Structures are given as structure tokens and as C-alpha cells.
Structure 1
């Protein structure tokens, strides 16, 4: 977005990373960057963020913050006990940040909100139960919100990508299916006006189309779970920093 001439506000938890990213963006694009340090695993940060955003005209909101406590498939009771943090980070953040900017977009009758969900939101995904469910919330929330505000000139799109190589996914090796963050962002911005929902890239649309042909009883079966726990877990270990 900065390369396309927009000034940017970055909101994240680690000040050092924010400062480094802001310096890189300003140096390479010439756009101005404002940083706001906030921990989205908490729910008491939004008055502070609202204060820091005062006076700014936010034309595009990207709700990209998220956490995946267990990259390896794990039964719910064996997963890290970060339930409340995950809800705040993956769900509350989307709702509260949307509240902060949508009212101003409505008054101007223009604006774009991009909410990053996940391919795991397209159907129940056992062994990633909390993550899948939280991203399903983002998907349904976004599509319903677009129905409410489309006539007011606001575009709200939810993205449901599959594998992307990021710190959250332990830098999975990129391939035809697993995209780098740069690859995904560049391609997904081409689909902003395509509709209220997109996987963000052609490869992931093909994966989603294939998975839609699989009946729900199969994806919730013990055989599918066994495959996740063995073959998929081994793939993750061999192709990420977990290995």
C-alpha cells in the first residue's frame, strides 16, 4: 500500500519491530508511517488506539493481526491454554478496529476494509479447533457487515488464504501452494473488488474448490485426523523452522 502512495499506520505489539518496519517503508517508498504499540491479546487497548488515530482519515483498514497457538495439529485439551488471548487477538481485534474506523468511512461514504481470515474457516477443521472457529467468526462477520454497508460505498472483503510463509507458520518453505507474504499480498490486492470473499490467490482458490468437493463427514473423520497427526505433522516439521 505504501508503494502505491498511501501513508501507513502500523499497529503491533513489539516496538522495535514496528520502528524497523517503519524505517524500511519510509526509506523504500517515501510514504510516511505512524506506529502505535499495542498488544492485541488484551482488550483494554482500544481507547488508546482511538486517541492515537484522532485526526487521521483512514481510507483502508487491514485487520491482519492473528495468532495460531499450535502449528502442529493438536487436540483441543492438549493445545496451549491461550484461549482468551486467541479470542482477543483473532476476534475482538477485528470487531473493535472495525468499530473505530467504520463510522468515519460511513460518513464519507467510501472506504475499504480487508479482514484476513483463513482457509480453515471454510469448514470445521479438527485439531485446529480454536483457530478454525475464530477465523470462521471473521469470515461470517465480514460477509454480513458487507451486506449492511455495501450500499453506503464501503467495500468489506474477507480473505481466506491457506498456507503462507510467515513467523506464525514458522516460515514454511514456499512452493506452488505455500506463498511468501510478499507474493500473497501482491496477488491479493488484484482481487480487492472481485467480491465479498476471496482466497487471495489463484492457487488457494483451486485448493478451496477441491476441498469443497470433500464431504464434511470425511474432513471430520478419524481417518482425516490421523492423517493430520502423522503425515501433515511430519510435512510441517520437515518444511518449517520446527524441524
Structure 2
């Protein structure tokens, strides 16, 4: 009986320490959430960082909303996307609505030989903000070996989701370092926080974006550069194939307005209060339970898509 007392005491202190640790983490999370979303502090993002903002994938969804939000703050905007027609349309809308200068660069990010053109087009511009937003996902959840045209798909996702982030950062960062100020906002995904089976390549490429962002932030923050990894859950966009908004699926405009409040405060953010709560919950799940939920959801979505495709 006496020999059991030290063990019981040890377990008591382990339990107490665990509870205290969790309490501190929850308190810190609540304090940070209040600081960011409750107090409504406006981020120092505007022409003071540099006249121009560059947004890749800037004609739709989150990218377009970032372009509009930065223009609203008085920044001139460079839109980079594939369709010149869409670029012209969005560029015209931003100029008329926000009375700022715009510039467009039409390139296809699935290609690797586009960066000399981008470099030439950006030459001489004082770039204060870069939003690496362009991205590509799956048409529907699928097992790795069953992805249609797999070799081509692998190359496309790597070029768009990984290569573009590295190359655009390479082009813009030297000017920011020279002026000792600037912000790079890399749009990752919540699927980059956790492995997502049946979206394997997408999840892995977005994890790269998250890690890359954290590393570059640590390397250059002492030089006045803020690098942020933005990790949204579902947002009502074409990429997510969601049209209707809900309490946990905001519009692109609402999401970006919220995410902008975290710039300068959080180098890694889910960008939206409910998404941050969802991220915290998923982090607490044991891995076996998370993978069970993730696989079941992926298989259900896959079956629904294939059934619908068969009918058509």
C-alpha cells in the first residue's frame, strides 16, 4: 500500500501539470483572439510598406478580395493571373472603385518559364506587399494512383502551389530587404496543417507553403520583413467549389477582411475566428480519430461526385 503512494503522487502532479498547461494554452488563445478580433486593431498594411501590392491569382476568390482590400488601403495593385480578359475586368473594377493605379501580368503558373516575364514587368516597382495566392486543388477527393492523368497533375500542383511561392518570393524579397520593410502573405490551407488523405498532393503542397513561410519569416523578420502563413478552412470560392456561405464558411470578402487584422500580429493564422477554433479542436484530436474522420469525409465526397458524374 505504501509503495503505491509515491506513484499516486506522481500521477497527481502529472495530471495537475497537464491541466495547468491546457489552461494556459486556452487562456493564451483567448487573449490572442481578443487582441486580434475583439479590439479591432487595424494592421499597418498600406503604402507605407511600399507603393505596390502584387497578388497572384488575383481575379477570383481570396486573391481578388486581397487585391481589393489592399487597394482600399491606398496601395497600387499588380494582378497576376492566366486570363487577360479577367485581369482587365478586375483591374478596371479596382481602378474605378478605389481610384488607384493597377497593372496586369497574364501568365500561366502551370509553366516554369514565366518568371523572366514577371521579373521584367515588376522592374522598378516599389513592392510593399506580396500575396502568393494562386493555387490549384483536386476536382474531387481521389486515391493517389487513381487520379486522372497523374503525372501531369503532379507537375501542375507542384508548379502552381510550390514553385510559384518560391519564385515570386525570390523576385520580390530583395527589394523589401533593401528597404527594410515589406509583407509577404502566403495563402496555404488548413489541409496544410494536417495530412488530408484523398487530397494527398494538395495537402502536401500546402504543408510546404506553411513550412516555407515560417522559415522565411524567421530568416528575415530581423530585417523588417513580415511573412505570414494563412491557413483557411472552407471559404465560399470557386477553388473550394462552394457557393453558399454559412457560419463556418465565410465569403472571400469576409474572410480576407478578418485575415488582414492578423497581419503583423500572427505569422501563422487560420485568418477567421471560427476557423481558428476549428484548428484548435483538430489539433486536440488523437491522430487515429482525425484520420478516421478525414477518410470518411473524403470517401463520402468522392462517392457523391462520382455518382453525380455517372448520371451526367
User: Which residue, out of 64, 73, 83, partners 2:141?
Assistant: 73
Q: Find out whether 1:219 has 2:219 as its counterpart.
A: no
CA RMSD of aligned residues (A): 1.8
In the superposition, relative to structure 1, how do residues 188 and 236 fare at CA in structure 2: closer, same or farther (>3 Å)?
farther
3-state SS in 2 of match to 1:74? coil
Partner of 2:202: 131
Distance 2:72 2:212 in 1: 30
3-state SS of the aligned residue for 2:142?
coil
Q: Please, which of 2, 9, 21 is the counterpart of residue 90 of structure 2?
A: 21
Residues 236 and 120 of structure 1: CA distance in aligned 2, closer, same or farther (over 3 Å) = farther
TM-score relative to the length of structure 1: 0.92
Determine which structure has more spread, i.e. the larger CA radius of gyration.
2
Are 1:157 and 2:228 matched, yes or no?
A: yes
Taking structure 2 as the reference length, the TM-score comes to 0.72
Matches of residues 34-49 of structure 1 in structure 2 within 5 Å? 34-49=103-118
Q: Report the Cα distance in structure 2 between the residues aligned to 1:236 and 1:183, rounded to whole angstroms.
A: 28
Q: In the TM superposition, what is the alpha-carbon distance from 1:224 to its structure 2 partner?
A: 4.2
SS of the equivalent of 1:220 reads helix
**Whole-Å separation in 2 of the counterparts to 1:224 and 1:116:** 22
The 2-side partners of 1:46 and 1:225 are apart by 38
* Bigger helix share: 2
Number of equivalenced pairs: 235
Preserved CA contact (<8 Å) 1:10 1:18: yes
Q: Indicate whether 1:8 and 2:77 are aligned.
A: yes
Q: How far does the alpha carbon of each residue in 1:130-186 deviate from its partner, in whole angstroms, 9 at most, with x for none?
A: 000000000000001100001000000010000011111223421011111111111
Q: Relative to 1, partners in 2 of residues 1:227 and 1:49: Cα closer, same or farther, differing over 3 Å? A: closer
Q: 1:92 aligns with which of 163, 166, 188?
A: 163
- Where structure 1 has 5 or more consecutive residues not aligned to the other structure, the ranges are 238-242
Shift of 1:216: 1.7
Contact 1:63 1:116 in 2 (8 A): yes
